[in-house]
C-alpha cells in the first residue's frame, strides 16, 4: 500500500489562508462587536415598524375633508410660488416741517430814524451853543451823519437797541450801561467828534483834522518792526539795542 502523506520534517502544516488567518480576534472584543451589530439591527427593525405604524395612523386620520384641505393648501402655496404677491413698500413719512422762528421786526428802519425818534427824545442834555459857556460841557451836531465816527457809533447803538429791546430781564440795563451811556459820552465829549459843532450848525467853529499817518512801508518792514522787543546786550554806558522780531 502506497503512503500518500507528505513529510513536513516536523513543521506545522500550512494552508492557503496566509499570515492573516493567524490573527485571532479576542473573545471579549468579539462579544462587544456582536452586541453592537445586534443593537443596530434591532434599531433598524424598530424604525421600520415605526414607519409602518405611523403610516397606518396617518392613513386613518386622512379623511376626505382633510385631504381636500391639504390639496387646497398645496394649490395655494404653488400659486404663491409661481406668482408671488407684489410687496408695496409704504410711503415714507414726510419729514416734519421746521418752521423757522420769525425774526422780530425792528422798531426803527435805520439809524437815522432811531436817532431822531429815540435818542434825541430820551437822551437830553444842555448843549453848548456859540457862546460855549463853562457849564455847557456837551457837544452835539444837528448834522451828525456827516461825522464818520458819529454815524458808526450811532449805527452800532441802534443795532444794540434792536437786539436787546425784546429782553424781559436785564437786557435794558445792559443796553444803558454797556451801550447807550458810553457811546453818548464819547460823542458829546467837548473833545469828541462834535468839538467844533453847535446847535447852530455843522463845524461852525472849525474842522477836526484827520489823524496824521505816514505812507505804509509795505508788508515786510511792517512785520519786522511792529512788535519788536528792545533787549540790552550788556552793562555798557551806551547800551547797544537789538530789535528781536522772533519770539520763543
CB burial string 151-172: b at 16+ within 10 A, e below:
bebbbebbebbeebeeeeeeee
pLDDT at 227: 52
pLDDT at 234: 58
CB burial string 222-243: b at 16+ within 10 A, e below:
eeeeeeeeeeeeeeeeeeeeee
Residues 6+ apart with CB under 8 A from 107: 114, 161, 162, 165
Residue-wise pLDDT tens for the chain (248 aa)?
445 444 444 444 445 444 544 456 667 677 788 888 888 888 888 888 888 888 887 787 778 888 888 888 888 888 888 888 888 888 888 888 888 878 889 999 999 999 999 999 999 998 887 665 546 689 999 999 999 999 999 999 999 999 999 888 999 999 999 999 999 999 999 999 999 999 999 988 889 999 999 998 887 655 555 555 555 655 555 545 555 555 44
Between CA 171 and CA 58 the distance in angstroms is 89
Strand spans (E) along the chain: 229-232, 241-244
pLDDT at 11: 47
pLDDT at 83: 84
Amino acid at each position: 500500500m502506497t503512503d500518500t502523506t507528505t513529510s513536513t520534517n516536523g513543521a506545522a502544516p500550512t494552508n492557503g489562508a496566509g499570515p492573516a488567518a493567524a490573527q485571532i480576534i479576542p473573545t471579549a472584543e468579539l462579544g462587544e462587536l456582536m452586541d453592537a451589530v445586534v443593537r443596530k439591527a434591532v434599531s433598524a427593525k424598530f424604525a421600520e415598524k415605526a414607519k409602518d405604524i405611523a403610516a397606518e395612523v396617518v392613513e386613518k386620520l386622512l379623511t376626505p375633508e382633510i385631504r381636500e384641505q391639504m390639496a387646497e393648501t398645496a394649490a395655494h402655496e404653488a400659486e404663491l410660488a409661481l406668482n408671488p404677491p407684489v410687496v408695496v413698500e409704504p410711503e415714507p413719512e414726510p419729514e416734519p416741517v421746521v418752521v423757522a422762528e420769525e425774526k422780530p421786526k425792528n422798531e426803527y428802519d435805520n439809524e437815522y430814524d432811531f436817532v431822531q425818534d429815540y435818542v434825541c427824545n430820551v437822551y437830553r442834555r444842555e448843549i453848548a451853543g456859540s457862546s460855549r459857556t463853562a457849564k455847557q460841557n456837551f457837544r452835539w451836531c444837528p448834522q451828525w451823519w456827516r461825522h464818520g465816527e458819529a454815524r458808526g457809533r450811532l449805527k452800532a447803538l441802534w443795532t444794540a437797541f434792536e437786539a436787546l429791546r425784546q429782553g424781559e430781564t436785564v437786557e435794558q440795563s445792559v443796553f444803558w450801561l454797556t451801550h447807550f451811556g458810553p457811546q453818548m459820552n464819547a460823542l458829546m465829549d467837548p473833545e469828541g467828534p462834535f468839538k467844533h459843532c453847535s446847535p447852530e450848525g455843522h463845524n461852525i467853529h472849525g474842522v477836526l483834522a484827520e489823524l496824521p499817518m505816514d505812507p505804509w512801508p509795505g508788508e515786510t518792514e511792517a512785520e519786522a518792526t511792529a512788535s519788536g522787543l528792545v533787549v540790552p546786550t550788556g552793562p555798557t554806558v551806551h547800551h547797544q539795542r537789538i530789535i528781536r522780531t522772533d519770539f520763543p
